[in-house]
Amino acid sequence: MRILNAAQMREADRYTIDDIGIRSLVLMENAGRQVVAAVEAAYESRLSGRVAVLCGRGSNGGDGFVVARTLIQRGVDTAVFVIGAVADIRGDARINLDILGRLNVTVVEIGDEQTWELHFSEISQCSLIVDAIVGTGLKAPLGGMMVTIVADVNAAGIPIVAVDLPSGLSADTPHLIGDCIDASMTVTLAAPKLPLVLPPAEAHAGDVVIADIGIPSDVLDGLDGPHIELLTPEQLRPLVEPRAADSHKGDFGRVTIVAGSRGKTGAAYLAGIGALRSGAGLVTVATPASCLPVVASMAPELMTAPMAETKEGVVSAAAVEALLDLRHDVIACGPGLGRGHTVGEFVRALVERSTVPLVLDADALIVMADDPGRLVGREDRDVIITPHPGEMARLIGASVEEVQANRIEVATDFAATHRVYVVLKGHRTIIATPEGHVYINPTGNAGLATGGTGDVLAGMIAAWLGQLLDAEAACRLAVFLHGAAGDLAEGTGGQVTMIATDVVAQLGKALGRLMGAQNGDAES
């Protein structure tokens, strides 16, 4: 699902109105009615009280007038307020304001702070507030009377439903540009916007509902500018096809996991089991020889291969020869591998010489940080990297804070420059492709912030890459299912006690729910 900025949303509106011929009044009517439908679904009990609809002077206010009219026609006690001068309202918003007048609906004009103070006592007694003051057109921080209005509404302790965006957020950035409404729910029109899906702004959006207002999906998909998408089950479920009755294990990919070192055999196991639970036909864990018995004892389904090692129990640079001789379709390298000069030599040789796709995680990225220029993909061989923010910071020579403040830009720049697929982990994991596509994952929770979950993800990506033979699709599917399994694990035992094997245990159910959605019978 395409995520739009302000300019793209304007162009989508323009094209729909001018080129397709759907009138702007129809779009506004659809928007208002969709907001009411969302309100009725989420806040039905609140509609027995009074609803305050706060409207601006632009199109967002026009949507609000439709919301107010629809609520009134359905018997809901509704008070309508215009923030600013009524005389300044033009276009479709004016038409809908005039309709309210012809229906004998009183609209209160709030032109200054004294008037606001006079009427806020009335608003504060309402059971629900609809914020239709400012939408996607905001370019600068709110000022003047709006600062007072935002503060008062936020402090009222009443649920707030925002139309398109909470007033005060900018559609062009997930960062806060100033004071904003703290919405309980946002009904965004046609497509999500960045501040609704990325921190820190997402914390002010509440539950997000995406309303179809009549703009065709082809219009949204064909817009110029940044191509950023939100991962959805509908987008991903066609990637998983039913297996033929005469399938055999060789049909689903041979994955080699290069992982583990003395004291870190668990990472090798978790990556391996993540690959197995994601459908890989054959999984071999290549690990230092002294670690092999431990890994082999953890899961009989895993095959193992010993690697030459140093006296410290980490992989030796010489081990790359034997590794490349193994039969595999995908190699995932890094979980628990250890660090140091010999590991760096091994990883660099693997990156340079491997002819099969690579998934590089954890220590494999750390040892490349001193020479990230050698971390590149080729036309004949994809490379996927899966850094957390600290590892990404090392790769680009920045601070973690700088990475977190610019997650999309950092991932996109590295993917394009190095011709690799970047899976930048963390809250709202970012996937960036060499071609400039960006995907944001909505699944997952803070319980995944525990050791080993990243190892599981590395194995999952490798497994799906071995089956789909498409690096972008493998990243999208694995990241979504990983987060979905984390959400299921949270429902079972909560976030605090969650461990990586809890996530592994829910992978089957997560995949089942995704496939169930295809048939309309997913578990609730």
Residues 152-195: tens digit of each pLDDT: 999 999 999 999 999 999 999 999 999 999 999 999 999 999 99
Do 236-512 and 2-226 have the same topology in CATH? Answer: no
Q: Is the pLDDT of residue 485 over 70?
A: yes
Taking phi first (over 0 means left), then psi (-120 to 50 degrees means alpha), and beta for anything else, what does residue 224 get? beta
The full set of domain ranges for the chain reads 2-226, 236-512
Q: Tokens 């394009």 sit at which residue?
A: 416
Q: What mean pLDDT is predicted for residues 124-151?
A: 96
**62-121 tens-digit pLDDT:** 999 999 999 999 999 999 999 999 999 999 999 999 999 999 999 999 999 999 999 999
Confidence grade of residue 357 (pLDDT, cut at 50, 70, 90): very high
Q: Report the CATH superfamily, name and number, of domain 2-226.
A: YjeF N-terminal domain (3.40.50.10260)
CA within 13 Å, CB half, 89 = 26
Tokens of 302: 């895993």
3-state secondary structure of 267: helix
Using alpha carbons, list the distances in angstroms from residue 506 to 277, 283, 300, 468, 491: 10, 20, 20, 21, 11
Q: What mean pLDDT is predicted for residues 331-346?
A: 96
Q: What is the DSSP letter of 46?
A: G
pLDDT at 178 (0 to 100): 97
Q: Is the pLDDT of residue 520 over 80?
A: no
Q: Is the pLDDT of residue 524 over 70?
A: no
Confidence grade of residue 141 (pLDDT, cut at 50, 70, 90): very high
Alpha-carbon gap, residue 51 to 356, rounded angstroms: 60
Report the percentage of the chain scoring pLDDT > 90.
97
Which residues partner with 81 through β-bridges?
54, 108
At the top level of CATH, which class does the domain 236-512 belong to? alpha beta
Between 172 and 520, residue with greater pLDDT? 172
**What is the Cα Rg of the chain in Å?**
27
pLDDT at 137 (0 to 100): 87
3-state secondary structure of 139: coil
Give the H or E element holding residue 25: helix 24-42
Q: Is the pLDDT of residue 522 over 50?
A: no
Number of H helices, E strands in the chain: 21, 18
Q: Is the pLDDT of residue 349 over 60?
A: yes
Closest CA to 439 of 388, 485, 478, 400: 478
- The maximal CA–CA distance of the chain, rounded, in angstroms, is 87
Q: What mean pLDDT is predicted for residues 240-262?
A: 95
Q: What mean pLDDT is predicted for residues 327-356?
A: 96
**281-325 tens-digit pLDDT:** 999 999 999 999 999 999 999 999 999 999 999 999 999 999 999
Confidence grade of residue 518 (pLDDT, cut at 50, 70, 90): very low
> Under a CB-based contact definition with an 8 Å cutoff, are residues 220 and 191 in contact?
yes
Q: Is the pLDDT of residue 517 over 70?
A: no
**384-401 tens-digit pLDDT:** 999 999 999 999 999 999
Residue 302, C-beta contacts closer than 8 angstroms, at least 6 positions apart = 269, 272, 273, 276, 283, 284, 285, 295, 296
Alpha-carbon gap, residue 313 to 260, rounded angstroms: 9
- Rounded to 10°, the helix 507-519/471-493 angle is 110
CA within 13 Å, CB half, 134 = 22
